[in-house]
Chain A
């Protein structure tokens, strides 16, 4: 088992595109670490650089206490699961799982025994003689995981491991993956563009944009204390309400109405300062009677989310979304008040887009 440390890591492609732009991060031993970001943010390149499939342009990379920057992939003792699983179509499941051992020159008997053992652990019993083409997506994914496990790596690297599964199977596989990582305790880095997946699986998440890290923190951290408006908008199943506002003493003025100053920003802003006010739809409440310090508006759109409803309200020229329970669904066209709790709202600097006056939650591992 091993920690992964990068130091000013740069991956520049011919033509000057910096897919990874001077990253210095530490992924702790045994940690389940997510690289999250929109497509083209460099998260897959970072993963491939850790694997050795891409050669770092600058900077150093260590796995455990070994500097692996200049080592070929095969000597880094990492296992990678690809998005398409990359199972060899001409080999049986058993041969696929045993392939890393074949490269390590383990004799056929012992390596098939290991494959059978690992396959049993990942409930592949009875499928060992099939070819990948005869398996379902979920089974293929487990074969790919089994092959990674069989190689006894110090680090697992998963490239969008769940994206090829259908929605229902994905939830199942997610739980399975987390359980597997807990049981093995192997340092795991996985890449995803799905914030829900990152929040559900990871111990810590790095949110990337344009080759740089916007924020590193635990799921709770990045959800409730996003470092900037980009993270705030990217994390969360319904996008955070972000509106330009002006600080007015103890309150914040949005579209003519006033809401209380978020507690996290108290003392960190000056009167009259331009800010961006942020509130998650899940944290806002709806009242049909007048409330002080609330935004009055008219319901324009209802979107059913199953057990809850996403309501869009137009309040003084701004659109605000919030989530209510299915029993409290307001009628379209009705008027009411959107109540924001000071403890659950945030202010961002209008110019830098950074979180204002944050007292970040204590994170499990401090930033390097």
Chain B
């Protein structure tokens, strides 16, 4: 770069590189912008439509009203269905938490031949159990058991579907708890249940919190199983009741649906915030080993 003639092509290639970089950057931002709009639109609709005098399937600046909530409160099934959802999801969560932590602890500590194969096949099958494919046999099974139109049926099928994944995740947490913690407690005379309560569960608590939230969310949003296994409208959970919100003319009642959607999503958001505050999806600093 000692002569002046060299600098001109250098500057030229510099500016080409600059334009290319700038275009690349613009392209990237435009793409990100589209992605954001794509995901933000439904959320915006969810927040604005319930307060709109005439909600439609588009995004507008709402003509503010609380009339939609009035309609919602007048609907005999709306609030009741939210209560049903709470009952079903909490019972399922409790069953999943208790059974999964016991099973995960046992699988993590006792060497069972073919343990990994068992876990993987359960995991694979679980997506079938709660999925569409097994709905007919499950329907027949529940009918034979005379459990049709009961919460027990929904809770059992949901818990059965969620357990394998929950066990799988929790086993990983428990595998990461050094054995010496438990052995130490054992030497001081702790029983297996005491070890589980005093040592393993507190250490696996972030994992348990994750599983709890995850199972509530799974049950809360599940439509198919309660739709098939429940018959009476007054037992429907929130995810199913929305299906009944039609006007007399057969059109979806958007006023009702939008207001209800907001109610439907708030508990899940609150749950996340609460669990994150209270238990934290985090780990305790252990000891290097």
Contact = CB atoms under 8 A, between A and B. Distances in A.
Interface of A: 51-53, 72-75, 78-80, 82-91, 99-100, 102-104, 131-134, 140, 147, 151, 164
A111 to B, nearest CB: 12
A103 B287 contact: no
B101 to A, nearest CB: 15
A132 B187 contact: no
Given A86-B180, A88-B199, A131-B284, A99 B186 contact: no
B286 A133 contact: yes
Contacts of A100: 188-189
Contacts of A86: 178, 180-181, 183-184, 287
Nearest to A53: B183
Given A83-B180, A103-B188, 4 more contacts: A84-B178, A91-B202, A100-B189, A131-B284
A147 B286 CA distance: 18
Given A86-B181, A133-B284, A140-B287, A51 B199 contact: no
Contact of A74 (B181, B188, B198, B284): B188
B202 A80 contact: no
B11 to A, nearest CB: 57
B190 A103 contact: yes
Interface residues of B, number: 24
24 contacts: A51-B187, A53-B186, A72-B186, A73-B183, A73-B187, A74-B188, A74-B191, A75-B189, A80-B187, A82-B180, A82-B183, A86-B184, A88-B181, A89-B284, A89-B285, A89-B287, A99-B185, A100-B188, A100-B189, A102-B198, A131-B284, A132-B287, A147-B188, A151-B188
B279 to A, nearest CB: 12
Contacts of B191: 74
Interface string B245-289: 000000000000000000000000000000000000000111111
Contacts of B187: 51-53, 73-74, 78-80
A79 B183 CA distance: 11
Contacts of B183: 53, 73, 80, 82, 86
A140 B184 CA distance: 14
Nearest to A102: B198
Contact of B287 (A74, A80, A87, A90): A87
Interface in B170-187: 178, 180-181, 183-187
A328 B199 CA distance: 59
B203 interface: yes
Given A80-B184, A86-B181, A89-B203, A133 B190 contact: no
B233 interface: no
B184 A82 contact: yes
A99 B188 contact: yes
B244 interface: no
A164 B288 CA distance: 9
A53 B195 CA distance: 14
Nearest to A90: B202
B202 A84 contact: no
A82 B203 CA distance: 18
A75 B190 CA distance: 10
Contact of B284 (A53, A78, A90): A90
Residue of B178, B183, B188 contacting most chain A CB atoms (<10 Å): B188
A78 B189 CA distance: 10
B188 A79 contact: yes
A103 B180 contact: no
Contacts of B194: 103
B189 to A, nearest CB: 3
Contacts of B180: 82-84, 86
Nearest to A144: B184
A341 B178 CA distance: 52
A100 B190 CA distance: 8
Interface string B144-160: 00000000000000000
Top 6 closest A-B pairs, CB basis? A74-B189, A133-B285, A86-B184, A86-B180, A100-B188, A84-B289
A84 B287 contact: yes
B209 to A, nearest CB: 13
Contacts of B178: 84, 86
Nearest to B285: A133
Interface string B191-207: 10010001100110100
Nearest to B188: A100
Contacts of B286: 89, 133
A65 to B, nearest CB: 20
A164 B180 CA distance: 15
A85 B180 CA distance: 8
Contacts of A53: 183, 186-187
A153 B218 CA distance: 50
Given A82-B184, A89-B285, A140-B287, A103 B203 contact: no
Nearest to B184: A86
Nearest to A134: B285
A46 to B, nearest CB: 15
B207 to A, nearest CB: 13
Contact of A85 (B186, B188, B189, B287): B287
A51 B186 CA distance: 10
B204 to A, nearest CB: 10
B186 A74 contact: yes
Contacts of A72: 186
Contacts of A103: 185, 188-190, 194
B178 to A, nearest CB: 6
A361 B188 CA distance: 40
A244 to B, nearest CB: 43
Contact of B189 (A87, A104, A131): A104
Contacts of A52: 187
